Amino acid sequence: MSIFHSMNNSASALTAQRLRMDVISSNMANVDSTRGKLVNGEWQPYRRKSVILEPKEGQFSNFLNKAMNRSNADGAGNGVKVTRIVEDQTPFKLVYNPEHPDANAEGYVELPNVDPLKEMVDLISATRSYEANVTVLNASKSMLMKALEIGK
């Protein structure tokens, strides 16, 4: 484990949480978009997207340590990575509005499956995670600076 291990972990988490905030912002921006995607000549509403995060595995250092019969004894992780962005498959909301240009024959409009309240909760969670990782990054930097001062 290098002295920069905690910084690398925090950096990967910062990147992942930033992408998560971007996707949530996109969801909020399209909360009323009835024309999100053209499928078979017909418009479908915007579908809510979410980010799937997984721990980083398969790094070269893991394989090298295994080959040298050294394991990660301290239990430290290797960071996090975004594996994919998925679309939420819950059904669209139907709202009766016969005046709307995208209303069907019965007068119902399909609206996106985005719940602003759920998006705000996810945004708060992502923001808090981002802030926590900034704190860890600053603490790591401070410890490294103190270690350098000891060597003077």
38 in any annotated domain: no
Q: Domain total for the chain?
A: 1
Instruction: Record the pTM.
Output: 0.81
92 in any annotated domain: no
Lookup result for tokens 């009766």: 96
Judge whether 34 and 110 are in contact, CB under 8 Å. Answer: yes
pLDDT tens digits, 62-120: 667 666 766 554 556 678 899 999 999 999 999 999 999 999 999 999 999 999 999 99
99 in any annotated domain: no
103 in any annotated domain: no
The whole domain housing 25 covers 5-31+49-87+114-150
83 in any annotated domain: yes
Judge whether 108 and 45 are in contact, CB under 8 Å. Answer: no
Collapsed DSSP state (helix, strand, coil) of residue 9: helix
For residue 19, the model assigns a pLDDT of 97
60 in any annotated domain: yes
Average pLDDT, the chain: 88
67 in any annotated domain: yes
95 in any annotated domain: no
132-139 CB contacts, 8 Å cutoff, 24+ apart: 133/10, 133/13, 133/14, 133/17, 134/10, 134/14, 136/6, 136/9, 136/10, 137/6, 137/7, 137/10, 137/11, 137/14
